[in-house]
Structure 1
Amino acid sequence: MNSQRKIQALLLAMICLVCKPVYSQHAGLVPPLHTEGHQILDASENPVRLTSVNWYGFDQKEYVAGGLDHAPLATIVEQIRQIGVNSVRLPWANETLERNPLVPDYAVAANPQFKGKHAMEVMDAVIAALEHAHVMVILDNHVSRADWCCSESDGNGLWYNHEYPEANWLADWQTIAKRYRNQKWVVGADLRNELRNGAAWGGTDPKLDWHAAAERGGRAVLAANPRLLVIVEGPEYSTNFAGFDKLPVNLPVPYRLVYSPHAYYAAEQTPSSFEELKEVYEARATFLLHTEPGVPLWVGEFGTCQTLDCGAEADWFRQFVRLLKENPQISWSYWPLNGTQSTGVSRKYDAIESFGLLSADYKHIAAPKIVELLRTIEGQPPR
C-alpha cells in the first residue's frame, strides 16, 4: 500500500470512529417483543434485555415530558442515546389522556413547535422522536390524577379512584394502546405503578384484588394491541411479589407477560452485606427467576442521589447494580432521566432533580458516575 492510500485508510478509520453509533448490546434488535420462559425476545428471536430510563412528565401537572422547557426534543433524545439504554419508560396519567389539556407555554419553551399544542400531541411527537432513534417505549400508567407520586394519601394508590373508576382505567388503556398500535417501537404497557393502599395479590375483597384487576387490564391492552408486552407490578409499592408463583397472571395472548419489581434504598432495611441484599430480593422478587411457568423480570424503577455521595444509600445502589450485573436475565429502568422537577406535591417546578441523570439544561449528563455504573451492568466499554 502506498503512502497516499495509507493516509486515506487512516482518515477513513478515523471517520468510522467518529461515526460509530452509541454502544447498545441490542443494536440490531427488531421489535415487537415477546417472552419465552424468563427471557424477553425480539421479532427475530434474539434475547433482549430492556435497559431503560424513566422520563416523567406526562403524569405531572405540566402534562408534558420534562426538559422540553430547556432543550429541543432531539437534544434530549440524543442524550438518552448517549447514556446507552435501549428503551424509555414513559409515565402518563389518566387525567392527561382524558382531559388532553393544552400544555403551558413555559413547559415547552425550548420547543416552540409545541406551543398551543395539547398534551397528547406532544406525546405523539416524543414517541415518534424516540422511535426514529430506535429507542423502545414502555407506556406506564403512573397515576390517575396528574401529580407527583407516591404516598398512601395521594389518591393514586390503587388502579382506580373516585374520579377515575376502573372502567376509565380499562378504557384509557385501550385508547392509548390503539393510539400507538402502528408504532412498533412502543413495546410495552406497564399496567399500573406501585400498588399500595391495601392492594393485595388475590384475596376476598374485589376492590383490593390487584391480581384480578391486572388480568382485566391485560385483556384490555391486548384487545387493542396484541403485540405489546403486558407489564405487571406488585403490591407494597411493587416491592413484594410473594404469591405470584402460585397465582400467576393469565392473559389471552401467550408470551406477553412481564413482572416488574421496584427497588429503592430504605434506611430501616439496610443490608449489612451483598449476600444479605441478595437474600432480601430473593425473598421478595428474584425467586421468580427459578419458578415455572417462567416470567421475565424488569426492575421498572431504581435510583439514587445524582452525585453518589449519599453514604449508605450510594453503597446500597452499588450493591444493587452488582445484583443486576450478576443476573443478566433481569431487565432494568433507572429513575429518572429528568434533570429538573415538575410541579407537584412536595415538588418545586424547575428545581434540580436530585436523582436525575441529566443536567438542569438537559444537554449534558449530570450523573457520570451513575451512568458508568449502569454501563458496567451490560459490559459496555468506558467512554
Structure 2
Amino acid sequence: MFTRYSTYKVGENFDKLNLHGTRLGIGFYNPSLENVTVVDAFDFIIDEFGKQGMMVLVDNHVSDPKWCCDNNDGNGFFGDQYFDPQEWLEGLSDVVAIGMRNELRGPNQDKNNRHKYMSQGATIVHKANPNVLVFVSGLNYDTDLSFLKTNPLNVSIGNKLVYELHSYAWSNGSPNDWNQQPVNKKCAKMSHCHEFNKIGMAMGRDPDE
C-alpha cells in the first residue's frame, strides 16, 4: 500500500481490483473516503480506532494484493516473485506498529536470510518509532521458531521485540491445547527453545510474568 499504491484514490483502487460492489458500498456509507488516497483513508481508520479505545497492529501478510496463502504464491519469502526485500524495508519505514511479515513460507525459505531481513526490518521500525512493539514471524507459516535457540535476533530495540507463533490443528496439536496448559509451556513445546523465558509473546504477556 505504501510503496505501490500510495497515490491511488480509494475508489480508483477498488475499481482496479474489480471490487465494484464494495466501491458502491463505500460511496453510499462513507462517501468522504471514496476520493482520498488509500494512505489517507488508512490514517483515518486508524485514528477512528484510537478514538474508540482500540489499539491496532498493522500486519504485513502479502505484497501482491490477493488472498493468502500458498507455498508458491510468490509472496512467501524474501526474494519471491512479489516479495522484494528492499521494497519491504522501504515500506516498513512508513509505519509505526507492525507485524513485519506474517507466515513466512515456501521452498525458498532460508534461516540466514530470515535473520538478515528481519533484523534490518526491526531496526527500521524501531527507528521510526521506538515506542511500538515489533512482531517477528517464524518460518513454515509461522509455526517454527526452533532456530531461535541458536540464532536469536540480535537487535538493539530494548523490550519492544515480540516473537509471533501460530498453532494450527494441522501443524502441531489441537488449537484446544492452548486452553489446557500455560501459554509459555505451549510455546516452549512448539519451539523447543528457552528464549521464551526472556521475551513477550504475541498475546501481549509481560515477559517478566
- Please classify the TM superposition score into its range, dividing by the shorter chain length: 0.7 to 0.9
What's the CA shift string for 1:11-54, capped at 9, x where partnerless? Answer: xxxxxxxxxxxxxxxxxxxxxxxxxxxxxxxxxxxxxxxxxxxx
1:170 aligned onto 2:77? no
Partner of 1:220: 124
Cα distance change on mapping 1:159 and 1:137 into 2, 3 Å: farther
Partner of 2:53: 134
Q: Pick the aligned partner of 1:114 from 12, 30, 33.
A: 33
Q: Counterparts of 1:176-195 in structure 2 under 5 Å?
A: 176-177=95-96, 188-195=97-104
Cα distance change on mapping 1:125 and 1:195 into 2, 3 Å: same
Partner of 1:378: none
What's the CA shift string for 1:268-326, capped at 9, x where partnerless? Answer: 8655x959x868754323x55x5476011115xxxxxxxxxxxxxxxxxxxxxxxxxxx
Q: Residues of 1 paired with 2:98 and 2:83: CA distance?
A: 19
Partner of 2:190: 284
Q: Is the 8 A contact 1:298 1:330 kept in 2?
A: no
Count of equivalent residues? 188
Q: Counterparts of 1:311-330 in structure 2 under 5 Å?
A: 329=205
Q: Is the 8 A contact 1:144 1:161 kept in 2?
A: no
Q: Is the 8 A contact 1:144 1:160 kept in 2?
A: no
Q: Is the 8 A contact 1:160 1:169 kept in 2?
A: no
Q: Residues of 2 paired with 1:294 and 1:280: CA distance?
A: 15
Cα distance change on mapping 1:118 and 1:248 into 2, 3 Å: same
More helix by share: 2
Q: Residues of 2 paired with 1:243 and 1:163: CA distance?
A: 26
RCO greater where, 1 or 2, for CA within 8 Å and sep 6 or more?
1
Q: Is the 8 A contact 1:234 1:260 kept in 2?
A: yes
Partner of 2:110: 200
Q: Is the 8 A contact 1:143 1:156 kept in 2?
A: yes
Query: Which amino acid in the other structure matches residue 156 of structure 1?
Result: N
SS of structure 1 residue aligned to 2:135: strand
More strand by share: 1
SS of structure 1 residue aligned to 2:10: coil
Partner of 1:103: 10
Post-superposition shift, 1:172? 0.8
Post-superposition shift, 1:236? 0.4
Query: Which amino acid in the other structure matches residue 219 of structure 1?
Result: T
Q: Residues of 2 paired with 1:200 and 1:164: CA distance?
A: 14
What's the CA shift string for 1:221-258, capped at 9, x where partnerless? Answer: 11222222111010000001102122111222211110
Q: Residues of 2 paired with 1:189 and 1:210: CA distance?
A: 17
Stretch of structure 1 that moved more, 141-150 or 220-229: 220-229
Cα distance change on mapping 1:107 and 1:154 into 2, 3 Å: farther
Q: Counterparts of 1:31-180 in structure 2 under 5 Å?
A: 95=1, 97-100=3-6, 101-104=8-11, 105-106=23-24, 108=26, 109-177=28-96
What's the CA shift string for 1:135-193, capped at 9, x where partnerless? Answer: 1111111111111111112111014444552111111110223xxxxxxxxxx321101
Q: Residues of 2 paired with 1:165 and 1:234: CA distance?
A: 19
Partner of 1:211: 115
Q: Residues of 1 paired with 2:126 and 2:172: CA distance?
A: 38
Structure 2: where are the runs of 5+ without partners?
A: 12-22
SS of structure 2 residue aligned to 1:231: strand
1:231 aligned onto 2:135? yes
Post-superposition shift, 1:200? 3.3
Partner of 1:354: none
SS of structure 2 residue aligned to 1:98: coil
Q: Is the 8 A contact 1:98 1:172 kept in 2?
A: no
Q: Report sequence identity in percent.
A: 24
Cα distance change on mapping 1:150 and 1:294 into 2, 3 Å: same
Q: Is the 8 A contact 2:132 2:160 kept in 1?
A: yes
Q: Based on CA coordinates, which of the two structures has the bigger radius of gyration? A: 1
Cα distance change on mapping 1:283 and 1:237 into 2, 3 Å: same
Q: TM-score scaled by structure 2?
A: 0.77
Post-superposition shift, 1:134? 2.0
Q: Residues of 1 paired with 2:140 and 2:160: CA distance?
A: 24
